[in-house]
Chain A
Amino acid sequence: MAKIVLRRVTKSFGSKVAVDDLNLEVEDGEFVIVVGPSGCGKTTTLRMIAGFETPTKGTVHIGDTLMNHVPPKDRNLAMVFQNYALFPHMSVARNLSFGLRIRHESKKDIDSQVREIAEMLGITALLDSRPSQLSGGERQRVALGRALLRKPQAFLLDEPLSNLDAALRSQMRFELKRIHSQFPVTTVYVTHDQVEAMTMADRIVLLNHGELQQVAPPELLYAEPLNVFVAGFIGSPKINLTAGHIDRSGDGSALRCLDTKVAVPTEIAERLRSAQGDVVTIGIRPEDVQPCSPLDGQVGRAVVSGRVELIEPLGAETHVAVRVGDEIVTCRTPPRSGLEVGSTINLSFDIEQASIFDGTSGLRLC
């Protein structure tokens, strides 16, 4: 097992900067997930750790060893590829044992290790099959088995579940976490799927356009996003983002948003003083917006009125999109809410549960 440290790592392809000045430390045994939209640099980061790309600037350490110019074969890593990368001309058994044969381990040891891992992953019956005869889930298990047999100092996984159907993905997420608890090897996992990130990671590394946005455990990333991008990327349904204006008139601060004015508690008012200008972005999670009856204004609680535009029943809950002025606010309601499209509805939210970002920089104020 080993710690992975990236210090000021930059990777450029000609004039295009894929990864920009990235600092990242993955602790021994930690399961870190690198997530972000397509083209954000997550796969490039993984490939630099693996040794398939050399950083333009900065250093990559695995353990205490500088790895910048160490070839992939000497890094003692294992990788699971998005497209499986199983050797089509070899049987499952030979795919699993490829690394062991390269390292000239004894036939007896190879056979017993292959059988053990096949049994653990439920692929014993497939050992004589070729990859072309396997389903997507089976191929992914074989790829995982090959990586486990490497006994690496770190695992790298490049969107390993992206080619599986939803049910299988859910099952494999559970499998991967179980395997990680059994083999607590340092793991760097790349995905564009935030559900995978939220459910599996010890910490999430969120990238956008090659720049690090935030590194935090899933709950913290969700509850306290550092900027507008993080708030908008993490969470399904997406956070409600609305422009607000700080109203400094009167004896305290208030916020104007969604055609209403809400008085803010003193603590929030003090933090709003550090905003560059009076414009802010307010982020409210759909579960923090509730249908309500009209209430008198309370400090910190806003009530808005709107028209139901879309109702998405999901079984265990319903997502309701409400037009408030020119904006759409999404809220989560229990399954049988009795709402209808076109009906008028009042929504309330607590400003203390909202995330408020500077309107210019996008950075979190409170």
Chain B
Amino acid sequence: MSADQVVATGPEIAAPAVVVPRQRSLARPLLNVLMVIIGIAFLLPMLWLILASLNPQADDTLSVPHAFSILNYHLAIRAGAGAAIKNSLYLAGVSTIIATAVSTMAGFMLARRRIRFKGAFLVLVLFLTGLPVTLLLIPTYQIFVNLSWLNSKFYTSVVLASMSVPFAIWLMKNFIGQVPGEFEEAAAIEGASELHILFRIVIPLVIPGILVSAILTFINSWGAFLIPLVLDANPSDTPGAVGIYQFMSANGQVQFGQLAAYSVLFSVPVIILYLISSRWLSGGFSFAGGVKG
């Protein structure tokens, strides 16, 4: 059969009467431009930070150093960056442990058990997540004075934990709610107590959720400024966020290079945390094989 032979293979299909040209939308290019602008707005300060930290003659303008140097890092550590980071690690670490433990247990009970006035309690918890810390600072300070808890890293950590607990409870309640109830029923019928069920069944299954909650608490506490400033005036307890502030005012003139180096050093633990935990977080919740579907 040649190419110019017409072969009738079926009913004729009517050709469309009008061919409408495809209209190009401006929305996508505009959106892309907007995203680029926002990206630049976020990236430029970070770029300045890194370049300034490696520039012995850094100022408040974005410029490439003539000669890259780590002198600013040496000076920042000598000024107390190391000790400040250690204190921040303590505050963030202890508050994360307390908040995670409390919110996991509270989240389990709220997700799984029939509790009177549970709805009202959850609304209260939600309300507390939006409460500004400044509202509570004065009464908290008064309580600390009465209990002689001032100038203590541990009790300051407790307050930092309490700031994160409401949101963490909501997170954990929702994460635990996703675990099929049949796992707990199967464990219960095997003779497991509530604690067994929590530690051997639920917690292993919500580790990604616990990590999310812990990371958010850690970051919240890592960057805490007002609470440690007010509740712990001990110079040796100064955390990173407060240390940066003091560092700026102590020298009279702002040493931008050392400030940038201090900021980079202060950011490193959090970045490492993200990198380590992203491996677990990308796994998500997998109950594969446990239940059908």
Point out the residue from B187, B191, B192, B290 that lies within 8 Å of A88, measured CB to CB.
B290
Report A44-77 residues with CB < 8 Å from chain B CB.
50-52, 71-75, 77
Tell me how many residues of A have a C-beta within 8 Å of chain B. Answer: 34
Binds A, one of B30-38, B224-232, B266-274, B281-289: B281-289
A171 to B72, CA, bound (A): 75
CB of A146 within 8 A of chain B? yes
Consensus secondary structure, chain B interface:
mixed
Point out the residue from B187, B191, B204, B293 that lies within 8 Å of A83, measured CB to CB.
B293
B201 touches A87 (CB 8 A): yes
CB of B4 within 8 A of chain A? no
A85 to B286, CA, bound (A): 14
Indicate the size class of the contact surface on chain B.
20 to 34
Hey, which chain B residues are within 8 Å of A52, CB to CB?
A: 185, 188
Point out the residue from B183, B190, B291 that lies within 8 Å of A150, measured CB to CB.
B190
Report B149-185 residues with CB < 8 Å from chain A CB.
180, 182-183, 185
A131 touches B288 (CB 8 A): yes
A87 touches B183 (CB 8 A): yes
B204 touches A89 (CB 8 A): yes
A50 touches B182 (CB 8 A): no
Could you tell me the distance in whole angstroms from the C-beta of B285 to the nearest C-beta in chain A?
A: 10
A85 touches B291 (CB 8 A): yes
Hey, which chain A residues are within 8 Å of B189, CB to CB?
A: 50-51, 72-73, 75, 77-79, 150
Hey, which chain A residues are within 8 Å of B290, CB to CB?
A: 84-88, 131-132
Hey, which chain B residues are within 8 Å of A87, CB to CB?
A: 183, 186-187, 201, 290
A88, A130, A131 pick with most chain B CB within 10 angstroms: A88
Binds B, one of A96-104, A108-116, A237-245: A96-104
A315 to B190, CA, bound (A): 45
With A130-B289, A131-B289, A133-B289: A85-B192 Cβ-Cβ less than 8 Å: no
A85 touches B190 (CB 8 A): no
A85 touches B186 (CB 8 A): yes
Hey, which chain B residues are within 8 Å of A98, CB to CB?
A: 187, 190, 192
A98 to B192, CA, bound (A): 9
Hey, which chain A residues are within 8 Å of B193, CB to CB?
A: 73
B188 touches A88 (CB 8 A): no
Could you tell me the distance in whole angstroms from the C-beta of A60 to the nearest C-beta in chain B?
A: 15
A residues sitting closer than 8 Å to B (CB atoms) are: 50-52, 71-75, 77-79, 81-89, 98-99, 102-103, 130-134, 136, 139, 146, 150, 163
Beyond A51-B189, A87-B186, 15 extra complex contacts between A and B, CB < 8 Å: A50-B189, A72-B189, A73-B188, A81-B185, A81-B186, A82-B292, A83-B292, A85-B182, A85-B290, A88-B288, A98-B192, A131-B288, A132-B288, A150-B189, A150-B191
